[in-house]
Amino acid sequence: MPVCTLLMVGGTLLVAAFPGWANGLRYDRQAILAGQVWRLFTGHGVHFSPSHLLFDTLVLGLAGWMIEVRRVAGFGWLCLLAPWVINLALLICAPDLRYGGGLSGLATCALVFLALDGLADPSAWRWACWLTLLGVGGKILWEMQTGHLLLATIDPGTAVVCTASHLAGAVTGLISYSLSTSVRSSARSGSLCAATRQSWVLGRAKACCNHFRAAGRLPSRHS
């Protein structure tokens, strides 16, 4: 059961079901700077049109489902922390953005996270992941260059294109995966160290015991 994905998508649909909540939850630069920091997280759940909501939730839903099916470690942490990081990046790098919303940044982050994890896979899945990474990278480069979305449009009556959210999502996905990998490897290496340390301590203790036994300060094993 993809619990994290269901929670994220469910939360977004809940926000969409109560449009009155949007004002209190959306990304609002001035409100965030005034202390309403929860908007950094909840802003992702606010969408500006039904099609915006539909595509964003479907892409995040599918990406999240694939991550959870593959049991990629750290996705729970990603869902918990990446929304803050993405919107914090927008807060710093896009000072002109007054209001924002949408899951697309987080969905891009999840896609990059999934694709990076799949690169080590021995099966054909690896090539699909390479293709995804190249596609996401090319798309973001094109968007940054032109200022338009490559394959989608936003209803001009609702909001304007903010390509920085996809870039922030992709970079967050990359950092998240790197952190997740290093944490895993350090955990592994950390346990090795502990085992080594333990064995060294035991070894030293054994040597000390033998030394004291030889000196006659400790009774011999046989006695």
Partner 1 sequence: MKLKTWRKLSVVAALAVLAAGCESFTGSSSHYANSLFAYLYPNKAGHVDQPTMPVLSLPLRVGVTFVPPARSGDRRFQYDGDDEALTEDVKMQLLKQVSSQFKSCPLVSSIDLIPSAYLTPGGGFENLDQIRALYGVDVMVLLSYDQVQFNDKGLLTLSYWTIVGAYVVQGEKNDTRTMLDAAVYDLASRQLLFRAPGFGNVKGSSTPVNLSEQLRHDSERGFDQAATNLTANLTVALTDFRQRVKDSPNQYKIVDKPGYTGAGAFGGLELAGVCGLGICLLWTRRQRAH
Residues that bind partner 1 (CB under 8 A): 47-48, 52, 55-56, 58-59, 62-63, 65-66, 69-70, 94-102, 104-105, 107-108, 111, 114, 121, 123-125, 128, 132, 135, 139, 148-149, 151-166, 169
In the bound state with partner 1, the residue whose beta carbon lies nearer, of 95 and 216, is 95
In the bound state with partner 1, the residue whose beta carbon lies nearer, of 70 and 213, is 70
Q: What's phi and psi for 124, nearest 5 deg?
A: -65, -15
Q: Which residue has the tokens 């469910």?
A: 10
CB of 49 to partner 1, least distance (A): 9
In the bound state with partner 1, the residue whose beta carbon lies nearer, of 151 and 215, is 151
In the bound state with partner 1, the residue whose beta carbon lies nearer, of 123 and 223, is 123
E strand or H helix at 115: helix 104-118
CB of 82 to partner 1, least distance (A): 14
Decide: 142 and 206 in contact? Cβ < 8 Å: no
Decide: 83 and 46 in contact? Cβ < 8 Å: no
CB of 110 to partner 1, least distance (A): 10
Amino acid, single-letter form, for residue 135: G
Q: Counting beta carbons within 10 angstroms of the beta carbon of residue 116, is it exposed (0 to 12), middle (13 to 18) or buried (19 or more)?
A: buried
